[in-house]
Chains A and B, each alone.
Chain A
Amino acid sequence: SAVISQKPSRDICQRGTSLTIQCQVDSQVTMMFWYRQQPGQSLTLIATANQGSEATYESGFVIDKFPISRPNLTFSTLTVSNMSPEDSSIYLCSVELQGNTGELFFGEGSRLTVL
């Protein structure tokens, strides 16, 4: 298994500002994923962040809005830029310890509220 720590756990932000979410894993992993979970909704994949390469973004998500860093095998950040109330959501970091198994381990999420 994996232990994933996310910071901040929650924050209230002003429109137009940016916030960076950190994800720390207790073991080295290749595959890291960032998901968004809007209130009462399912999880939507934002991007896949693999160490040593640029993040791969899903349709509807762009690097300028959600820049991602993956400096090593245990850490990643997701920035939500120029926030609007529509960005209010829970952002989840997840990892897959073994490739092609689908067994994801999740952090507890970062709940952002944009005023």
Chain B
Amino acid sequence: DAGVTQSPTHLIKTRGQQVTLRCSPISGHKSVSWYQQVLGQGPQFIFQYYEKEERGRGNFPDRFSARQFPNYSSELNVNALLLGDSALYLCASSLSKTEAFFGQGTRLTVV
């Protein structure tokens, strides 16, 4: 069975640009969460979506947005990129309330 898949795996963007990251959850999982992990830190919660509705949002600016589609896949959008947005962006899918299974991540570099 396929796990959580994310695309692209690596991305380089320029300051001020916009980026869209994609995630396909494990089959049967209806919940998708997004986390940001900067070097030397643990992942930080950005969003969770369940059945296409936002259930929770972390302490991130409005430049970050997300959505979930009818097939439960999800996109994370970041506008007006800053150098500090450089990080590993992780998508996780869940069947139970909190147990999360992560994808391999998208490494975003902002130059």
Q: Do A and B come from one complex?
A: no
Query: Interface of B with A (CB < 8 Å)?
Result: none
Query: Interface of A with B (CB < 8 Å)?
Result: none
